[in-house]
């Protein structure tokens, strides 16, 4: 009984704190692995890495959606993981009859088909580019944490509906056209909601509801972060043109 | 669409898509900074089959609701009230009035400012008749005609009898009128109900005329005239007036064609055969003595030769 209460408390804490969620998942990794293996019906030694990743995502989803009044957490988590794995298996059915690039060339060989393909990618350039991106992302995380934000919270705060998202991007477009707004935001760490809402012609309440998300976008469009902006640039331009 | 991996957690990764969305996806062993082309997202909301099923159920409910609503809104029966103003009243299954339209200009006048919402048929008929009386559309001796139309025969049966009974009792205390109910489903079947209202003030002149009419020509002949005979006559034992000929039928001021020539015929001045024979013994008929010289009228003095060539065959 005490153990159930302890789990429920930990789940409650994990809902608010992504690190606490990671700790909880780490502690229950054997449970997640056994549930996955039981559903996959794979022989010992066969890899279940992909399935395990899906099951862990299901476990995380269970943490977010758990209600202590509706029963014990582990049973609920087991059901969610099972449903997500079934969805995964259904999606994977599309690839039946196709040979994986990870398949060995011969039964005795350790060389995979992927390694036999002609390599047209310049690995050094890819590595450099990824390192630069990694550095930018680390810098972004630091800057966001100075404003009391983290990427998990931003992902949870991102708009889900197309209309709301268009309004947020409209506000971003207005801020890009008025660099002072972005500078002021970075300097004070506060989002000028009234200026953005009035300038973009959108509802202030909508922007307020997605304050963390907007803050992250404004930080990305401040100085630096060219790699991340390069990833976003084309789509943002296209979207604001289509939905002025 | 490509996704940039921003952060890795044990159970999920956070990626940034090209459209500016931050998304939690399954961590399949990604590296931060890696660009993905395919992701497995955290489940949001319902599964696709469940959405389709739910959408189908919702659509069915909406369609059923619309069908029921349209059925309820469609007129179940129609009553056309004709006094002089003509008014068309639509009712639903519960006899609640759903719409009222004017059938002519007087109908528009009658309906001005009238509110029928959520009212039943009978009160609406009462109120419209009362309005017609107030506006002098309906006068004593007038006629209230009601045409009933509906697909449901049972409704027609019940409503026609209800309206006739209701209007009889309603008008009995107000004035003399004739109520004519016509069912349009069975052609021109009518129910004519003369209603005797409050006793009319005696009009000596009218009474004398009436007496004379009855004496001269006989009431039976008038009421049996095909012009005044109703198709179906409903008599009510509760209202003695109902057994009389319709009050509103205009008194026939000219005698039937078969009687009219008798008025100018000298023979018609003779006492009726039914009168008792008069005693004539006391009369002095000396002035009518046969000694009068009537030779001047002797038939022999007439020359009838002029008529010998008559073209008429007598």
CATH code of the domain covering residue A86: 1.10.1740.10
pLDDT digits (tens, 9 = 90+) for A187-229: 888 888 898 999 989 888 999 999 999 999 999 988 788 888 8
How many contacts does A have with B, using Cβ atoms within 8 A? 108
CA angle B81, B83, B84 (to 5 degrees): 120
Count of Cβ atoms closer than 10 Å to residue B185 Cβ: 13
Tell me whether residue B166 is exposed, middle or buried, using C-beta atoms within 10 angstroms of its C-beta: 0 to 12, 13 to 18, 19 or more.
Answer: middle
Beta-ladder partners of B16: B4, B22
Taking any CB pair shorter than 8 Å as contact, residues of chain B touching chain A are 2, 4, 6-7, 9-12, 14, 16-29, 31-35, 40, 42-44, 47
Q: Are residues A63 and A148 in the same domain?
A: no
Domain that holds residue A170: 123-242
pLDDT score of B47: 60
- Mean pLDDT across chain B: 70
A187 and A135, same structural domain? yes
Of A151-155, B7-11, B118-122, B230-234, the poorest mean pLDDT is in: B230-234
Residue B12 and residue A87: Cβ atoms within 8 Å? no
**In terms of DSSP H, where are the helices of A28-99?**
29-40, 49-65, 73-92
Together in a domain, A58 and A130: no
Q: Where are the beta strands (DSSP E) in chain B?
A: 3-8, 12-17, 22-26, 35-36, 77-82, 86-91, 97-102, 142-150, 177-183, 189-195
- Note whether residue A21 is domain-resident: yes
Query: What share of chain A in percent tops pLDDT 70?
Result: 83
Better pLDDT: A101 or B2 = B2
Taking only the tens place, the pLDDT of each residue in B247-289 is 444 443 434 433 343 334 444 444 444 445 555 555 555 555 5
Min distance B61 CA to chain A CA atoms (Å): 26
Statement to judge: residues A132 and A222 lie in one domain: yes
Q: How far is CA B136 from the centre of its chain?
A: 19
Mean pLDDT of the A101-127 span: 71
Give CA–CA dist A132/A224, Å, rounded. 12
Whether residue A101 is contained in a domain is answered as: no
B116 Cβ partners below 8 Å, 6+ apart? B89, B97, B100, B124
DSSP classification of residue B87: E
Cα angle: B196, vertex B201, B206; to 5 degrees = 95
Q: Do the Cβ atoms of A231 and B18 come within 8 Å?
A: yes
Which residue has better confidence, B225 or B103?
B103
Q: Is the pLDDT of residue B207 over 50?
A: no
Rounded Cα distance, A133 and B7, in Å? 12
Every domain of chain B and the residues it spans:
3-36, 75-243
B170 vs B252, more confident: B170
Taking an 8 Å cut-off on Cβ atoms, the answer to whether A158 and B21 are in contact is yes
Distance of CA A64 to the CA centre of its chain: 14
Which of A42, A76, A95 is where one domain is finished?
A95
**Would residue A100 count as lying in a domain?**
no
- How far apart CA A155 and CA B22 sit, in angstroms, is 5
| A130 lies in the same domain as A207 | yes
Whether A184 and A221 map to the same domain: the answer is: yes
Q: Do A234 and B33 touch (CB under 8 A)?
A: no
Question: Do A76 and A186 belong to one domain?
Answer: no
Judgement on whether residues A144 and A203 belong to the same structural domain of the protein: yes
* Average pLDDT of the residues in B120-145: 89
Contact A114, A95 (CB under 8 A): no
- Beta-carbon separation of B44 and A160 below 8 A: yes
Inside any domain, residue A146: yes
8 Å CB contact of B11 and A21: yes
At CA B91, angle to CA B84 and CA B86, rounded to 5?
10
Give the residue from A14, A19, A60 with the most B CB atoms within 10 Å of its CB, the best one to mutate: A60
Closest by Cβ to A137, choosing from B2, B6, B9 = B6
Q: Are residues A80 and A159 in the same domain?
A: no
**Do both A127 and A227 map to the same domain?**
yes
Terminal-residue alpha carbon distance, chain B = 121
Confidence (pTM):
0.49
All residues of chain A having their beta carbon less than 8 Å from the beta carbon of residue B33 are 130-131, 133-134, 137
d(CA B64, CA B75) in angstroms, rounded, equals 19
Q: Are residues A18 and A81 in the same domain?
A: yes
Residue A104 in any domain: the answer is: no
Residue B38: list chain A partners with CB under 8 A.
Answer: none
Answer whether residue A180 is part of any domain.
yes
In angstroms, the separation between the Cα of residue A118 and the nearest Cα of chain B is 21
Q: What is the mean pLDDT of residues B157-175?
A: 85
Report yes or no: B12 and B42 within 8 Å, Cβ to Cβ: yes
CA distance A193 to A200: 10
Indicate which of A23, A52, A53, A167 best probes the interface with B, i.e. most B CBs within 10 Å of its own CB: A53
Q: How many domains would you assign to chain A?
A: 2
Report the residue of chain A nearest B26, measured CA to CA. Answer: A57
Q: Which residues of A touch B10 (CB under 8 A)?
A: 22, 25-26, 56
Position A150 pLDDT exceeds 50 = yes
**Selected residue of B17, B33, B39, B41 to mutate for chain A interface (largest A Cβ count, 10 A):** B33
All residues of chain A having their beta carbon less than 8 Å from the beta carbon of residue B12 are 56-57, 60
- B5-19, B57-71, B240-254, range with the lowest pLDDT: B240-254
Contacts with B293 (C-beta within 8 Å, 6 or more apart), sequence order: none
């Amino acid at each position: 009984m005490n153990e159930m209460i302890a789990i429920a408390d930990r789940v409650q804490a994990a809902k608010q704190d992504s690190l606490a969620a990671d700790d909880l998942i780490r502690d229950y990794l054997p449970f997640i692995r056994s549930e996955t293996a039981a559903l996959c019906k794979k022989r010992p030694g066969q890899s279940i890495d992909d399935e395990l990743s899906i099951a862990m995502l299901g476990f995380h989803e269970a943490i977010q959606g758990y209600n202590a009044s509706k029963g014990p957490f582990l049973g609920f988590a087991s059901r969610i993981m099972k449903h997500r794995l079934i969805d995964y298996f259904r999606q994977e059915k599309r690839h039946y009859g196709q040979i994986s690039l990870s398949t060995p060339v011969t039964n005795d060989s350790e060389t995979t088909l992927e390694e036999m393909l002609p390599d047209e990618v310049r690995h050094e350039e890819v590595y450099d580019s990824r390192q630069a991106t990694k550095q930018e992302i680390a810098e972004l995380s630091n800057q966001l944490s100075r404003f009391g934000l983290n990427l998990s919270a931003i992902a949870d705060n991102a708009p889900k509906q197309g209309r709301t998202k268009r309004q947020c991007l409209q506000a971003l477009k207005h801020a890009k056209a008025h660099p002072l707004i972005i500078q002021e935001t970075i300097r004070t760490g506060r989002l000028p909601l009234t200026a953005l809402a009035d300038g973009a012609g959108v509802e202030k309440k909508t922007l307020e509801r997605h304050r963390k998300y907007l803050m992250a976008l404004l930080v990305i469009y401040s100085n630096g972060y060219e790699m991340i902006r390069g990833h976003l640039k084309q789509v943002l331009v296209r979207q604001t043109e289509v939905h002025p | 669409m490509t996704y940039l991996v921003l952060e890795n957690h044990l159970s999920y990764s956070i990626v940034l898509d090209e459209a500016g969305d931050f998304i939690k996806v399954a961590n399949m062993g990604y590296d931060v900074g890696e660009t993905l082309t395919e992701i497995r997202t955290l489940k949001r909301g319902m599964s696709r089959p469940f959405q389709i099923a739910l959408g189908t159920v919702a659509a069915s409910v909406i369609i059923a609701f619309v069908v029921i609503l349209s059925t309820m809104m469609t007129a179940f029966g129609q009553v056309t009230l004709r006094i002089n103003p003509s008014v068309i009243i639509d009712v639903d299954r519960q006899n609640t009035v759903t719409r009222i339209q004017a059938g002519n200009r007087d109908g528009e006048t009658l309906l001005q400012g009238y509110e029928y919402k959520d009212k039943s048929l009978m009160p609406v008929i009462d109120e419209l008749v009362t309005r017609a009386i107030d506006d002098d559309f309906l006068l004593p001796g007038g006629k209230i005609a009601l045409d009933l139309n509906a697909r449901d025969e049972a409704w027609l049966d019940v409503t026609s009898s209800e309206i006739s009974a209701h209007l009889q009792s309603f008008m009995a205390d107000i004035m003399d009128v004739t109520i004519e109910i016509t069912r349009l489903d069975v052609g021109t079947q009518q129910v004519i109900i003369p209603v005797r209202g409050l006793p009319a003030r005696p009009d000596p002149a009218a009474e004398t005329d009436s007496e004379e009419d009855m004496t001269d020509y006989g009431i039976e002949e008038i009421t049996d005239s095909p012009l005044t005979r109703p198709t179906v006559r409903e008599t009510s034992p509760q209202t003695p007036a109902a057994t009389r000929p319709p009050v509103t039928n205009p008194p026939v001021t000219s005698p039937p064609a078969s009687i009219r020539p008798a008025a100018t015929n000298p023979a018609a001045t003779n006492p009726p055969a039914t009168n008792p024979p008069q005693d004539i013994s006391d009369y002095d008929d000396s002035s009518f003595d046969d000694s009068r010289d009537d030779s001047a009228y002797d038939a022999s003095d007439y020359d009838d030769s002029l008529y010998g060539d008559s073209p008429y065959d007598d």
